[in-house]
Amino acid sequence: MKNKSLSTAMLFITALIWGFAFVAQVLGGDHLPPLTFNGTRFVLGGLFLVPIYLLFEKEREKEKPALKARRKKTFLAAVGGGCFLFLASALQQYGTTLLRDPGKAGFITGLYTVLTPVFAFLIFRKKSGWNTWLGVLLATAGLYLLCLRSGDVPTFGLGEVMLLVGAVFWAGHILFIDRFVSEISPIRFSAWQFLVCGMLNLLFALFTEKPTVEGFRGAFWAILFCGILSVGVAYTLQVLGQRHADPTYAAIIFSTESVFATIGGILWNLVTPDNLHVDQEILPVGYLGCALIFASIVLSQIPVSGKRMKKEPN
């Protein structure tokens, strides 16, 4: 019972950190271009995980042949996973920066949980239950309501499009990892894929963006939060928490990330002056849309049929 309670607490703290990270991403985007911000935070997060995998994933030298093969698979998987992560996170950061609305960004990003079993069925012919398709309908209706503006006309601009396409790549990232998860060292893989993702962001930023020293100063705390807490600490808590938690139970807890994104934006605006506020443009009917999206996320995690997918960090 003690282990289960501690595990539940770790999982909720993970979801809270990931949700509040959307506020940090908005604030970081106010000072740094998207790729520069992403590259810095993922490199920082990857470096933070290096001593953690050295501590938790000690490998015995007497198993050198198997160890060499496992590390090779881990490295190759990290390169592929890092490429998916680069595309997903870049689109997410661009979309979040354009919207400046943590709640909306969190709920649209959360749609990847619904899309994952759909793509698993379409691409790999994995069985999907009725809950998957009902989840898709609820998510579509919720997205429509979430994007409504005054005049009852949904506004689906570039920011929303980028977040939605990013959700597609988040789903692809999970499906990619699902092919390797039993053959790799998980924390080592995460550290390496974060470093690959960070370096790709910085490489493209080198040719397309012009960050300033003042920008880095302004985004300093956002980088620390997203790099150390969202990437490093939250992922470690996820691994430790899932040791004593049912995967479906853990995934449902993680789905509260989108709720915490909205709460984080509200709390931030309450404690900061107007010039530091993030946008909260959701209409009352939009919160019904949030509820439908949240319901679709939870519904898609119920194992009616087929193998349950594993939830990954934001």
Residues contacting residue 152 through CB under 8 Å, at least 6 positions apart: none
How crowded is residue 224: how many other Cβ atoms within 10 Å of its Cβ?
16
> Is residue 31 classed as helix, strand or coil in its secondary structure?
coil
List, in sequence order, the alpha helices (H) in 100-157. 102-109, 112-124, 130-146
- Provide the Cα torsion 282, 288, 293, 299; round to 10°: 160
* Cβ-Cβ contacts under 8 Å for 84 (sequence gap 6 or more): 169, 172, 173, 176
Average pLDDT for 45-74: 80
Could you tell me which of 163, 204, 220 has the C-alpha nearest to residue 28? 220
Mean predicted lDDT score pLDDT of the chain: 86
pLDDT for 142-153, tens place per residue?
888 888 776 566
Interval 174-215: pLDDT, tens: 888 877 777 888 889 889 999 999 999 999 999 999 999 999
Buried b (16+ CB within 10 A) or exposed e, 105-135: bbbbbbbbbbbbbbbbeeeeebebbebbebb
Q: Where are the domains of the chain?
A: 2-300
Single pTM value for the model: 0.87
User: How confident is the model over 285-310, as pLDDT tens digits?
Assistant: 888 989 999 998 888 877 665 444 44
**Quick check: 86 and 202 in contact, CB under 8 A?**
no
